[in-house]
Structure 1
Amino acid sequence: MTTRTYLFALVDGGGTVPPELRIVRRLVERGHHVTVIAEASMIPDVAATGADHLPWTTAPNRASRLPEDAYYRDWECRNPFELFRMLLDHQFIGPAPGYARDTVAAIDTVQPDLVVCSFFAVGAMVAAQARGVRFDVPFPNTYLLPVDGMPPACLGLMPAHGPLTRLRDRIVRRVTLRQWNKGVARLNALRETYGLPPVAEFFDQVHLARRHLVLTSREFDFPAQMPEHVRYVGAVLDDPDWATTTWTPPAGDEPLVLVALSSTFQDQTACLQRVIDALAELPVRGVVTTGPALDPSTLTAPDNVTVVAAAPHSAILPHASAVITHGGHGTVVRALAAGTPILALPHGRDQPDNAIRVSARGAGITLSRKSSQRKIADATQRLLDDPTFTDAARRLGAVIVRDADSGELIAELEALEFGGART
């Protein structure tokens, strides 16, 4: 095996961090030299991988995952257009010059064979291209970019199946691309700074990658006509390092229900309390993990529900009969890999898409995050009573485990002699 040098330019996207850093750990374990540019909120997680760490200095450097350190408060958006402005100004285009400067400096120091850029780090992609270094973009979820056959992202839509739904997709795609393309002028100004020609559309920059590595199973995503540089390489099923604590099942024989909403703050406290109150009505043992963004003491739990900041889901899931989640990709694929049906309460981002893929395969139920305590209790009981949900979860989970164990992810990253940089 040829030893490579990799540079990862990562942005703290919450649930995207654990799979991205598990890639880093696997490359380090295989003897490669890996450096990670990451925010202060990620320092303990980066240290656990064994990779070298560089801080973002001119780019944003989030101190923690607490809501007061968020760059923007997407949970307060009143409409999609306001969200687009926030994303462009505070996540993608606004900080792009800083990401580019820091990544150029890191490339000049590290001299990597490949740069792996967070989807959010558009400036890092510009830097890699400017320095003539190939870059890959991991997608720790389903495929998010517009492609023929795939419903528009983040809306929880089923694929088009007739003239009306195909028209729906064309209209939604046109509207959303118009919003993204409002960032093209600033993106091209940055590209000009580094001597690069302009792009026509915002996502053209992302498509200049050598590979898009989709960290899920093709069978979990909806079928579509994918570009040649897209690779489905299987999910990363490891627990995040912050959750590798010891765990003992609560006493009793009642069905165990795992509750995990989000590792980042999405204003989920009220929803989580309704879930806990719903479990209080049922003959179950509830285990709630709040993650690093929410203090467990803010929640009130009955005797049959245990609330902790963190616990390894890999230890809990073999005991679980159902999972209640916001629909984050990491929690969803780990639940399915364990053959556990899911009640999804999407809060936003890519979560509606994950939820519709679960319910479309019969492996779970999707409700609004604003659902009442009674609806949540009824849906949970239905998952426990109807074995067809568990059967479907096991079928889909077997595919997810197969693909996760395939080795295709690392094989793609190591195969640098194939597939030159896109121009």
Structure 2
Amino acid sequence: MHVILATVGTDGDVFPHLGLGSVLRERGHRVTLAAPETYRARAEALGLAFASLVTTAEVGRMLAHPDLFHPLRSGRMMARWGAPMIPRQYELLADLAREPGTVLVTNPGLLAGRLVQEKVRCPTASLLLQPGLVPSSTAPPKMTGGLTIPSWFPRPLRELYWLALDVAGYWLVARSLNSVRATLKLAPVRRLFRWWWSPDLVIGLFPNWYAEPQPDWPPQLRLAGFGRFDGTRNDLPDGVRAFCTAGSPPVAFTLGTGMTRARGFFRTAVAACESLGARGLLLTKYPEQLPARLPPTIRHCGFAPFRALLPLCGAVVHHGGIGTTAAALESGCPQLVLPLAWDQPDNAARVARLGVGASLGSRQRTSGHMARALARLVTPAVRARCAEVAAKARGENGLEVAAGWLEEFARAKF
């Protein structure tokens, strides 16, 4: 079997595909990762073939855009950024998918993947990383920008809400998509956020105790569990483990690998640590965001595999990305979530409901707010609850489960 794993985005979006590719390759399959050019080296290091869906320059423009993590404008920004790429991404994936015995696994947001499924008739599965993307009137996800469906909305109004979201999707990106579809002699798409799921198979990389399946979820959606892969099989960087074990467990701070505008966040993190008398570890690939001088109790790290790092930390303060959230759950590490956009508010709400963390609103981001919230989290009661949840989270690796389902899927198709 030849498997094409197609996605765009940053580490949290790409690492699950890399991990799945590694598992599939170990099972004897040939794998091609189709992703941004910036992930070529990681793919090739795992023995995967690579195809570039986004250039390095295009990635740079995305990361530099001020609206990338805006709670309301981020969707429009990404639609304008990504829509012009659809034709060339379709051509690249279509060429790869025409090989006999090929299965395509695609991120729902990569619209070219669904075009390939329809036009080339390649067996295709959607890989869903976060439950916040699943529209549900039974149990609505928490939405960004304060746009969550109110609990008092009757069912008809909830259905109208999702219709309105599809209307917005139509004006933002479906018109561009339909221009490409017309050239391929495919009918236009009206309800984008219903269409972007593969009708054959959707694999959710999260467990049912994190997001209970709802009766109005897509019937082809199956939950595999969290996928355990941090982008590398190496241990922690030199000196990081020694720092973590040299005193009280530090608090880790990150806003994700795609965040290039976090100067205020890291200043606040340092101040919160000083207020608490805590040690801190600041995680960012962009050290220019850090204060010019860090106290000896605070250290910077460019990258660390979270499943190796977080068991050594007293807590983690993060943006609510599903990758960081899952790693913290598995590590038994209390979480303080500062959601910005996308699925992050939904993950923050789920962390709070599980009793393993808390979140701060957009007007609660001072060092005082952060210090007080952390003080409430680093308690024996919260740690005990984190340990309970971690025992569940450390179950079967969702990547192994997903690989098995893809093998079954291929056998049924070929």
TM-score, normalization: structure 1?
0.86
* Equivalent position of 1:187 in the other structure: 177
* Equivalent position of 1:208 in the other structure: 198
Q: Percentage identity across aligned positions?
A: 22
Q: What's the CA shift for 1:293?
A: 4.5
Q: Deviations over 1:196-231 (max 9, x none)?
A: 333331124323342211111111125422222101
Q: Deviations over 1:83-121 (max 9, x none)?
A: 443232222x3321121112112223x445211112221
Task: Give the aligned CA root-mean-square deviation in angstroms.
Answer: 2.9
Distance, in Å, in 2 between the alignment partners of 1:211 and 1:379 is 41
User: What letter matches 2:44 in structure 1?
Assistant: A
Change (3 A) 1:399 1:83: same
Whether the aligned pair in 1 keeps the contact of 2:206 and 2:398 (CA below 8 Å) is: no
Whether the aligned pair in 2 keeps the contact of 1:327 and 1:355 (CA below 8 Å) is: yes
Q: Is 1:86 aligned with 2:77?
A: yes
Whether the aligned pair in 2 keeps the contact of 1:148 and 1:224 (CA below 8 Å) is: no
* Equivalent position of 1:221 in the other structure: 211
Q: Is 1:278 aligned with 2:233?
A: no
Change (3 A) 1:165 1:277: farther
Deviates more, 1:326-335 or 1:389-398: 389-398
Whether the aligned pair in 2 keeps the contact of 1:157 and 1:353 (CA below 8 Å) is: no
Deviates more, 1:5-14 or 1:341-350: 5-14
* Equivalent position of 2:302 in the other structure: 309
Q: What's the CA shift for 1:242?
A: 9.5
Mapping of residues 66-145 of structure 1, within 5 Å: 66=60, 68=61, 70=63, 72-75=65-68, 77=70, 80=72, 82-91=73-82, 93-108=83-98, 110-145=99-134
* Equivalent position of 2:21 in the other structure: 24
4+ residue runs of structure 1 moved beyond 6 angstroms?
156-161
Whether the aligned pair in 2 keeps the contact of 1:65 and 1:265 (CA below 8 Å) is: no
* Equivalent position of 2:165 in the other structure: 176
Structure 1: gaps (5+ residues) = none
* Equivalent position of 1:344 in the other structure: 337
User: What letter matches 1:115 in structure 2?
Assistant: L
Distance, in Å, in 2 between the alignment partners of 1:50 and 1:397 is 31
Q: Secondary structure at the match of 2:346?
A: helix
Change (3 A) 1:314 1:406: closer
Q: Deviations over 1:6-26 (max 9, x none)?
A: 112221344111111111111
TM-score, normalization: structure 2?
0.88
Change (3 A) 1:405 1:412: closer
Q: Secondary structure at the match of 2:242?
A: coil
Whether the aligned pair in 2 keeps the contact of 1:364 and 1:383 (CA below 8 Å) is: yes
Q: Deviations over 1:2-56 (max 9, x none)?
A: xx11112221344111111111111111110111222221112211221111223
Q: What's the CA shift for 1:131?
A: 0.8
Distance, in Å, in 2 between the alignment partners of 1:355 and 1:301 is 29
> How many residues get paired?
408
Change (3 A) 1:210 1:223: closer
Deviates more, 1:128-137 or 1:406-415: 406-415
Distance, in Å, in 2 between the alignment partners of 1:299 and 1:242 is 32
User: What letter matches 1:62 in structure 2?
Assistant: T
Flag the structure with higher helix content: 2
Whether the aligned pair in 1 keeps the contact of 2:228 and 2:398 (CA below 8 Å) is: no
Of residues 217, 233, 236, the one that matches 2:227 is: 236
Distance, in Å, in 2 between the alignment partners of 1:331 and 1:399 is 17
Distance, in Å, in 2 between the alignment partners of 1:407 and 1:210 is 20
Q: Is 1:43 aligned with 2:20?
A: no
Change (3 A) 1:9 1:223: closer
Distance, in Å, in 1 between the alignment partners of 2:200 and 2:132 is 16
